[in-house]
Structure 1
Amino acid sequence: MRTLTPPATPSRQPRSLCTHKQPCPSAASPDQEAAVVIAAHPEQGWSLLCNGALLFDDTGVLADGRVIDPHRPFTATA
């Protein structure tokens, strides 16, 4: 009888991919957007920051399971 081994469990990425000497702000901090971009996809409208947050071109953010609405400055039209 042949014994089957279970498939390897997929590894999860750490919450922070930051390896900088001066660590970038965490995804939970208010200045999370100051983290370094590690993967940019402007054709799709998003970038992955080293703290694990996804930054969208409309200034929305997906970080630590939280959605942060776009926060572009309001510009008045004449």
Structure 2
Amino acid sequence: MTSAQLRMLSLAQRKITILGKIESQIDAIDPDEVFQSFTPQMIPQFFSRMGFFVLSTVSNITKNDRLIKPLAIYFN
């Protein structure tokens, strides 16, 4: 979006509907929980779980939240 479009949307008081695909569900954000049951088969999941931990420290995500890839955004 252009900067003019973003400014217009930031001042609007409209309802927004987002249609998207669930990319992943946050199942472990505590580093102790990640390391407790660590096995070599979990190496591919290790980096995503650590990424979720970093997200939880800088934002307000919690366990069982979902990351959604937006496909369409509608303004009402």
The TM-score, its normalising length taken from structure 2, stands at 0.27
More helix by share: 2
Q: Which has the larger radius of gyration?
A: 1
> Higher relative CO (CA 8 A, sep ≥ 6), structure 1 or 2?
2
Q: TM-score, normalised by structure 1?
A: 0.26
